Amino acid sequence: MEKQLVQEGTTVAPQSYKITVTATGPYLIFGQPPLKQLFIMPDERGNSWTYRAGKAFSTEHEPTALCRCGASKNKPYCDGAHASHDWDPALTAPVEALLDEAETIDGPRITLTDNEKYCAFARFCDARGRVWNLAEVDDPQAREDVIREANHCLAGRLSAWDQQTGKPFEPQWPISLGLIEDPAIRSSAGIFVIGGIPISTQEGKTYEVRNRVALCRCGQSSRKPFCDGTHASFKWKDGLGGTPNGEEF
């Protein structure tokens, strides 16, 4: 049996939690993790700054089937539309450690790693200035800004690392799933998988377990099952409505 890849800084969720990506259809969710909308909220300058919860959805059914083709009329749930929808369900992302191909930026106060292949276009990396530039600034506030911007990267493309301990700064958010809504670009986005939930193919291949993962739900990513930001190019909308009136993080 192959050893499971686990990214440093990730605590693997309890065994009851898992996601199976079916070969030609939905995501199957096990363990009944909380599922709710998460709106990307701007700061006073219009930059992506935080997430605020919206409408909650049930995962009581075991497993819960979530749409990944983008065409269900019962979103976020699968209604079988994938069988007739014009999309390519092929899982093209390799099973690899994200950090294997990440660029490392060693600044005077903090280290930043970046694997741009995992970008989901949430744009938190520009909140207080471009995170790559901030990492090279010798200033305590710049260091804190790097940590915040990296930690809000929903796909885990960016990670900030403590230079003294060599450990990543990872947000300790509860195990949950978020249906990302991005009002600033008038688009819905991927599924934010939080808290080290293992994601496997129907054939049993398990992707690296990570604390922050973005799964495609528009059906058009070129790196399935992961989100690659394609939703932004054609303003994909899930039609769920809802308002950002819940907790913020």
Q: Per residue in 166-220, pLDDT tens?
A: 999 999 999 999 999 999 999 999 999 999 999 999 999 999 999 999 999 999 9
Residue 72 — very low, low, confident or very high, per pLDDT cuts 50/70/90? very high
Residues of the domain holding 125: 98-169
Spatial separation of the C-alpha atoms in residues 47 and 56, rounded to whole Å: 25
Residue 104 resides in a domain: yes
SS3 assignment, position 232: helix
ω into residue 198 within 30 of 0, thus cis? no
pTM beyond 0.75: the answer is yes
- Decide which of 121, 148, 169 is a domain's last residue: 169
Three-state SS sequence of 70-135: CCCCCCCECCCHHHCCCCCCCCCCCCCCHHHHCEEEECCCCEEEECHHHCCCCCHHHECECHHHHC
Q: What is the mean pLDDT of residues 77-83?
A: 98
Residues 89 and 118 in one domain: no
Angle formed at CA 64 by CA 60 and CA 67, multiple of 5 degrees? 140
Percent helix, percent strand, percent coil in the chain, to nearest 5:
15, 30, 55
Residues 51 and 66 in one domain: yes
Residue 28 — very low, low, confident or very high, per pLDDT cuts 50/70/90? very high
Q: What is the mean pLDDT of residues 113-126?
A: 97
User: What integer best gives the mean pLDDT of the chain?
Assistant: 97
Residue 131 resides in a domain: yes
Instruction: Please check the confidence at residue 1 and state whether its pLDDT lies above 60.
Output: no
Residues 145 and 184 in one domain: no
Residues 108 and 160 in one domain: yes
Instruction: Please check the confidence at residue 4 and state whether its pLDDT lies above 60.
Output: yes
Q: What is the mean pLDDT of residues 223-237?
A: 97
- Decide which of 148, 169, 190 is a domain's last residue: 169
Residues 118 and 219 in one domain: no
Residue 126 resides in a domain: yes
Instruction: Please check the confidence at residue 148 and state whether its pLDDT lies above 90.
Output: yes
How confident is the model at residue 27, as a pLDDT?
98
Residues 88 and 177 in one domain: yes
How confident is the model at residue 2, as a pLDDT?
62
Residues 149 and 114 in one domain: yes
Q: What is the mean pLDDT of residues 52-70?
A: 98
How confident is the model at residue 3, as a pLDDT?
77
